[in-house]
């Protein structure tokens, strides 16, 4: 029996296809059939790397239609395992995906908040990519946390806790691993259809009912302009809904860091602040907006506003934090450590370092002029902590979980000359003059009062 939604030509004989013909067809701007795309994905393990590279470049230059992108996404989804859930969970299995940014710790409080609302969240996350931090890396800063959880072990965690945050299993969308590696070395990473297929195929393989997308734009992410972010969001929403996943995207600002911290252990601490009903306003806003819209499209809230209020309640009454603590234990953290971490008074900075790794040195930088903070360059700050060890500057490098920064001001804050604006946590001392210069250049101060821009700019739904 054919999978639902698959276009089938009963007269089509896939054995007649040849890779050079498919490459030439796309090179000349023609539309590929579903069967040609399926054949390519099925045969990819035996296709020559040069042909895969040529095909990717043809797709990059000529693009893919909505139908072609959906067909590629579906074929990639079916290239490996597809997760299966109990029938009684129908409508409850949900997830979130972010296109990445500096200080993007949203998944850590969002998954348990959704679980506290009765949802099932099998969140399969990634590691840091370039200057953007990875959810798995953040969680691995917690002693004992295990990200390598097999499908059979995810089920009891979801039954008991309601959420898990794990790494991609070896046979989940294997086609994406091959295509992504080839895109990286053929300068085709930025293709909108290929980005869409890569993201949505993995979420479709999770077999989720509903999906919320945090599609970012600005200096601290890969889509620099709002229009680039909008185009990606529309592509993701269109294809995901075409595959039967109820999907909405929030177009969010990533010019300045989210919250006050970046760096793995520091972000865990700030995420727990959020779970305790405190922490930076913009972090709570994003968690509640994303969760609220997801509850609405899942049919668990009468409106986005009702959904937002429900998520806020889980943060305020401690139920979300209790789910996070239970998830930590279910994924390998000792009960005593999970309790100490989640019950710490994180407004008292020293409490968190009883559990998490602490950097040897802290350096505060001071404002060099007075005025109002006009902007804080997320990319400039992110690149510095990457070089200090908070991320992988080369593939396979170790991460220093204790490295990062804490902002002491936000856009719109008033500063005096000599007032501290950032605390840097590092294990090499002193900070280099180059790093200090780049950090100072990332802070723009002017005489005009400014209002911080909203984090959420648009809500993008299916047409």
Over residues 359-368, the pLDDT tens digits come to 999 999 999 9
pLDDT reported for residue 273: 93
pTM of the model: 0.91
pLDDT for 157 equals 97
Taking 70 as the pLDDT cut, the residues of the chain under it are 1-15, 128-133, 345-351, 393-397
Q: Provide the pLDDT for residue 391.
A: 83
The residues carrying an active-site annotation are 97, 176, 183, 198, 202
- Given a contact cutoff of 8 angstroms between Cβ atoms, the answer to whether 80 and 174 are in contact is yes
Domains, the chain, ranges and CATH? 14-63 (1.20.970.10), 87-342 (3.40.1030.10), 361-446 (3.90.1170.30)
pLDDT number for residue 417: 97
> What's residue 8's pLDDT?
41
Instruction: Report which of 53, 48, 17 is spatially closest to residue 33, judged by C-alpha positions.
Output: 17
- Note the pLDDT of residue 170: 78
Quote the pLDDT of residue 34.
96
What integer pLDDT is reported at residue 194 of this predicted model?
94
């Amino acid at each position: 029996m054919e999978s639902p939604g698959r276009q089938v030509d009963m007269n089509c004989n896939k054995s007649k296809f040849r890779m050079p013909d498919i490459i030439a067809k796309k090179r000349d701007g023609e539309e590929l059939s579903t069967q040609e795309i399926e054949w390519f994905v099925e045969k990819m393990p035996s296709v020559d790397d040069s042909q895969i590279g040529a095909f990717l470049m043809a797709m990059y230059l000529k693009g893919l239609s909505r139908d072609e992108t959906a067909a590629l996404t579906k074929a990639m989804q079916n290239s490996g395992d597809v997760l299966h859930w109990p029938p009684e969970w129908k409508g409850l299995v949900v997830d979130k995906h972010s296109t990445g940014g500096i200080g993007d710790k949203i998944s850590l409080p969002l998954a348990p908040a959704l679980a506290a609302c009765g949802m099932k969240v099998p969140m399969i996350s990634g590691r840091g990519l370039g200057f953007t931090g990875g959810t798995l890396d953040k969680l691995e800063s917690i002693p004992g946390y295990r990200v390598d959880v097999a499908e059979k072990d995810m089920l009891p965690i979801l039954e008991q806790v309601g959420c898990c945050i794990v790494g991609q299993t070896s046979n989940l969308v294997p086609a994406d691993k091959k295509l992504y590696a080839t895109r990286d070395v053929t300068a085709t990473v930025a293709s909108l259809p290929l980005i869409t297929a890569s993201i949505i195929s993995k979420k479709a393989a999770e077999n989720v009912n509903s999906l919320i997308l945090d599609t970012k734009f600005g200096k601290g992410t890969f889509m620099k302009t709002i229009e680039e972010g909008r185009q990606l969001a529309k592509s993701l929403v269109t294809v995901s809904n075409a595959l039967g996943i109820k999907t909405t995207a929030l177009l969010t600002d990533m010019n300045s860091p989210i919250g006050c911290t970046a760096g793995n252990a520091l972000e865990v601490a700030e995420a727990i602040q959020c779970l305790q009903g405190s922490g930076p306003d913009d972090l709570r806003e994003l968690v509640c907006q994303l969760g609220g819209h997801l509850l609405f499209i899942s049919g668990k809230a009468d409106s986005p506003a009702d959904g937002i209020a429900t998520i806020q309640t889980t943060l305020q009454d401690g139920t979300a934090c209790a789910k996070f603590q239970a998830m930590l234990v279910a994924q390998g953290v000792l009960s005593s450590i999970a309790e100490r971490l989640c019950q710490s008074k994180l407004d008292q900075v020293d409490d968190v370092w009883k559990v998490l790794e602490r950097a040897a040195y802290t350096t505060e930088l001071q404002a060099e002029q007075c005025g109002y903070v006009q902007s804080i360059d997320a990319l400039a700050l992110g690149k510095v902590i990457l070089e200090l060890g908070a991320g992988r500057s080369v593939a396979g490098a170790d991460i220093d979980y204790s490295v990062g920064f804490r902002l002491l001001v936000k856009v719109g804050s008033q500063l005096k000359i000599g007032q501290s604006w950032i605390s840097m946590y590092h294990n090499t001392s002193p900070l280099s003059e180059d790093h200090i210069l780049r950090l100072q250049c990332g802070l723009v101060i002017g005489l005009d009062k400014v209002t911080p821009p909203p984090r959420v700019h648009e809500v993008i739904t299916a047409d």
